[in-house]
Each structure stands twice: as structure tokens, then as C-alpha cells.
């Protein structure tokens, strides 16, 4: 079983947990509502990537394991909700692991379609962040990419790192894990140290 496939399925599960936790924390929906938010969070970015790349059927349509991953993630978040919601950092952790996995998977998939490496890096970033953007819109939150946190930038850095290491011939599975670890590290350090990019327009 390829590491790309394992990462994509695991990332789907992590995003389902992230989405259903966000839904419960915001609106306390029923099982369908929480599952819907978890599902959209999980497949939103990957679906957008596949549509832009012209890859059909969409990955979750032809592989039932992705649906199982969503269901498993939603059930886990329900069973352990009280524990997870008390540990506020857990939501951040699941989201961070999810974006790391989806960034590298998206970049790798775009490269397999023969696009320019820079486009592949952007596709990787889209795979990672767009599900969260849809989740935030549906739960009436300002999407995190519009906040000062280093989020999409970390994904882009990880995607570029993957492309560079791939260019120099690093073994594929090692490259996947190392590049994903870089994204996770950037996110954790940025949040812990309260780092952010310069504002587009500085206030008075």
C-alpha cells in the first residue's frame, strides 16, 4: 500500500474529526449536521484539486474507504467529544496533521498530471486549506486563511520542500513524511511563538 494512499485516507479522517468538532463547538447540530460538516471539511479541498486537474471520478466517489474514514472520524469525535473539546489544542493538532497530509498528497497528485511544479505546489495548498475554508464559512467563522496565523503559507512551504527533495532524488516515502513533518513543525512553532506574516496594509 503506497504511503500517498495511507496519508490521504488518514488525512480525510483527521479532517472529519476537525470538522465535526468545529460544528459541535459552534452550533451543536444533530448527527447529520455534524457528519455533513465533517464530510465537507474532509473532501472539499481534494475535490477542488481534482476538478481543477480534470481528474474524474473524484477520489471519494470511486473509493469507499474515504467515506469510511469520514464516518470513523465523526464517530470518534462524538465518543471522545468531551475529552477533545476540553483539550483545545487537540482541534489544532488534528487540523495541522490534516493539512500536512493533504498538502503533500495534493502536490504529488498534481505532479503526476504533468503540471508545472509551482502549479503542483498551489494544488497541494488548495487540497489542504479549502476544506477548512468551507468548514469555517458553514459554521459562520472567518476562514483561517484570512487571519494572521501562518496556515496556507506553511502548506506552500511544505509543498515546495517536497518538490525540491523530489528533484534531488530523495526516496519518495521519506520525502512524504519529512515534508509533512515540516508543515506540522512550521504550524506548531508559528502558533506557539505567535508568528505571522506582515500585514498587507498596515494600520495607522
- Give the span between the Cα atoms of 108 and 52, in whole angstroms: 15
Q: Which three cell numbers stand for residue 179?
A: 515534508
Residue 117 lies in a domain: yes
Q: Is the pLDDT of residue 19 over 80?
A: yes
Residue 197 lies in a domain: no
Q: Which three cell numbers stand for residue 180?
A: 509533512
- Give the span between the Cα atoms of 133 and 178, in whole angstroms: 26
What are the tens digits of pLDDT across the range 190-203?
988 888 888 777 65
pLDDT band at 88 (very low <50, low <70, confident <90, very high): low
Q: Measured between alpha carbons, how far apart are the two ends of the chain, in Å?
A: 55
Residue 88 lies in a domain: yes
Residue 203 lies in a domain: no
Predicted pLDDT of residue 84 = 74
- Spatial neighbors of 98 by CB under 8 A, at least 6 apart, are 11, 14, 15, 18, 128, 131
pTM (2 decimals)?
A: 0.84
As a whole number, the mean pLDDT across the chain is 86
pLDDT band at 123 (very low <50, low <70, confident <90, very high): very high
Residue 149 lies in a domain: yes
Predicted pLDDT of residue 78 = 86
Residue 25 lies in a domain: yes
Instruction: Choose the weakest-confidence range: 27-41, 47-61, 63-77, 79-93.
Output: 79-93
Residue 175 lies in a domain: yes
For the chain, the domain total comes to 1
- Locate all alpha helices (DSSP H) within the chain, ordered by sequence: 3-26, 31-53, 59-62, 64-79, 81-86, 88-112, 117-138, 152-167, 172-192
Which domain range does residue 56 map to? 3-192
pLDDT band at 119 (very low <50, low <70, confident <90, very high): very high
Q: C-alpha distances in angstroms, 196 versus 148, 183, 186, 190, 199?
A: 6, 15, 11, 7, 9
Amino acid at each position: 500500500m503506497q504511503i500517498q494512499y495511507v496519508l490521504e485516507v488518514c488525512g480525510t479522517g483527521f479532517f472529519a474529526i476537525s470538522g465535526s468538532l468545529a460544528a459541535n463547538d459552534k452550533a451543536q447540530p444533530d448527527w447529520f449536521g455534524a457528519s455533513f460538516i465533517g464530510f465537507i471539511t474532509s473532501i472539499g479541498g481534494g475535490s477542488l484539486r481534482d476538478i481543477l486537474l480534470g481528474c474524474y471520478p473524484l477520489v471519494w466517489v470511486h473509493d469507499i474507504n474515504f467515506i469510511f474514514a469520514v464516518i470513523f472520524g465523526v464517530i470518534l469525535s462524538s465518543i471522545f467529544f468531551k475529552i477533545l473539546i476540553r483539550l483545545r489544542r487537540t482541534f489544532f493538532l488534528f487540523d495541522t496533521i490534516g493539512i500536512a497530509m493533504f498538502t503533500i498528497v495534493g502536490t504529488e497528485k498534481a505532479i503526476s498530471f504533468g503540471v508545472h511544479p509551482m502549479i503542483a505546489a498551489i494544488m497541494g495548498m488548495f487540497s489542504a486549506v479549502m476544506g477548512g475554508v468551507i468548514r469555517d464559512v458553514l459554521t459562520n467563522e472567518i476562514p483561517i486563511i484570512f487571519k494572521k496565523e501562518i496556515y496556507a503559507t506553511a502548506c506552500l512551504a511544505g509543498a515546495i520542500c517536497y518538490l525540491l527533495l523530489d528533484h534531488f532524488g530523495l526516496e519518495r516515502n521519506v520525502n512524504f513524511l519529512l515534508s509533512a513533518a515540516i508543515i506540522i513543525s512550521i504550524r506548531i512553532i508559528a502558533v506557539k511563538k505567535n508568528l505571522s506574516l506582515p500585514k498587507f496594509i498596515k494600520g495607522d
